[in-house]
Each structure stands twice: as structure tokens, then as C-alpha cells.
Amino acid sequence: MPQTGAFSSRGTVEKPRILPVLAEFGKASVTGKAGLMAETTVTATPESAEGTEEGVRRRDFINVAAVSAAGVGGLATLLPLISQMAPSADVLAESSTEVDVSGIESGQAIKAVFRKQPLFVRRLTAKEIEEANAVDAGGLRDPQTLAERTLEGHEDLLVTMGVCTHLGCVPLGAAEGENKGEFGGYFCPCHGSHYDTAGRIRKGPAPLNLEVPEYAFITDSVIRVG
Ligand code: FES
């Protein structure tokens, strides 16, 4: 009864021979796909030890060649995908927001949009600044001073994302007459998080202060966020 190429003429199982197969490849005559397919089904009889060796080696080479081809093919598929993932010009333009802050009076806040999310820009009163600075920042859940959350020389301008750090609701307090919570900053009614006048979490489940995005003054009155 014929044996498959995985067995030697002595009837024992041979281990795969990758390296010898590659060395033998130079001597192998490749006759196209049909020829290769034919080689994969070669069977060897106990009487033909040479046929067995040849069958095992060529089949192993086909396995190695198939894996290599799959690797190259995968890379060729990946490269266009990566280039498609690079942000287009209009996406880059959307990634920053300019806000004219000259019209925001002391005690007022405005809502803008930054990367499709609400952005709060607030002009603090002298009293609000005083309250923020009176707190021992080291004892806060997310320790930060007002100075660390504002630009030098512009401590009265608080720029934060209008997104609660608990589960992402939009807190109240930016519009006139809205509930500012127990600490006079922002209040998230979803689960009761209170932020102080520096936008720091003081009470409720939110784990972090309202995020301060990167921003800078590009003129005396305009900031660019992002
Ligand atoms: S989302 Fe704001 S407290 Fe839960």
C-alpha cells in the first residue's frame, strides 16, 4: 500500500526539514502552478526512498513559499490602508478652533466647539480666582492649581472641554442662569459631579478635572485651540 510523503521508507515519521528544503530549491525544476499542485500530491512507495525525500522537500518548500507570499501580500494590502488613515487637509483644518475671547466679560462664559465637542471659555471674576487659589490643590482628587490650568498672564481665562469626565455629559454652568454647582464652577446633573471655578472636580463621581486642551493666543484677542 502506498505511503504519503510524510513517512520515510523505514516507516518512521520524519521531522520537517525547512533549511535543507531551501537549499534544494535551487535544484528543483518548477513547472508552473499546475506542476506545483501536482507535486503536492506526490506519493512515495517504500520501494522509492528518493521519491519520498523529494516529495517531502518539495511539499515543505511549497508551504514555506505560500507563507512568504501571504506575508508579502499582507504588507501590500496594509500600505495603502495606512496611507488612507493619514488625516486629509479638511480634517486637519477641523482639528483646531479659533475663538475671539475679547467679548467675554468677567463672570461670563461662552460655548464653542472643538473637534465636534463642546468647549467652555470662561472669564473668571477676581472673587472666582481668589476662591480657586484658596484651595489646597494637593488635597484634591485631581491635584492642579489654577495657574497650572491657565496660561501665564491670563489666569482669568479658563478654557476647558465641556465634557464631564465621568461619562461624558455636558455640564451646566456656562450659560447665564445655569446651575454652577456647590463650588461655583460647573455642575453635571447626570450623576451629580461638581466642578469648582477652576473646572476641578470637587464632588461626585467624575474622576478628573475638566480637560484643558492645548491652546495659545495667536493675537491679543484670539486663541487657537488644538
Ligand atoms: S456624566 Fe457627569 S456625573 Fe456622570
Question: How far does residue 136's CA lie from ligand 1's centre (Å)?
Answer: 24
Question: How far does residue 16's CA lie from ligand 1's centre (Å)?
Answer: 60
pLDDT of 102 over the 80 cut? yes
Count CB atoms within 10 A of the CB of residue 126: 10
Q: Which residue has the higher pLDDT, 70 or 88?
A: 88
pLDDT digits (tens, 9 = 90+) for 156-189: 999 999 999 999 999 999 999 999 999 999 999 9
Side chain identity, residue 14: E
pLDDT (0 to 100) of residue 199: 98
Quick one: CATH architecture of 93-225?
3-layer Sandwich (2.102)
The enclosing H or E element of 73 equals helix 49-85
Give dist(CA 153, CA 184) in Å, integer.
23
- Which of 219, 188, 218, 226 is closest to 206 using CA atoms? 188
Task: Give the bridge partners for 151, in sequence order.
Answer: 154
Is the shortest distance between the CB of 164 and ligand 1 below 6 Å? yes
Map residue 63 onto helix, strand or coil. helix
- Is 0.75 surpassed by the pTM of this model? no
Q: CATH 2.102.10.10: which residues of the chain? A: 93-225
Kindly state the average pLDDT of the residues 106-135.
98
pLDDT digits (tens, 9 = 90+) for 183-198: 999 999 999 999 999 9
pLDDT (0 to 100) of residue 124: 98
Question: Which residue puts its alpha carbon closest to atom 3 of ligand 1?
Answer: 191
In the numeric block, which cell numbers belong to residue 184? Answer: 461655583
Active site residue 191: yes
Give dist(CA 122, CA 67) in Å, integer.
60
Is the shortest distance between the CB of 188 and ligand 1 below 6 Å? yes
Task: Give the bridge partners for 161, in sequence order.
Answer: 119
Which ligand 1 atom sits nearest the alpha carbon of residue 164?
2
pLDDT of 226 over the 50 cut? yes
- Which of 57, 2, 69 is closest to 30 using CA atoms? 57
Q: To test ligand 1's pocket by mutation, which of 117, 163, 167 has the most ligand atoms within 8 angstroms of CB?
A: 167
What value does the CA radius of gyration of the chain take, rounded to a whole number of Å?
35
Q: Helix-strand-coil percent breakdown of the chain, rounded to 5?
A: 35, 20, 45
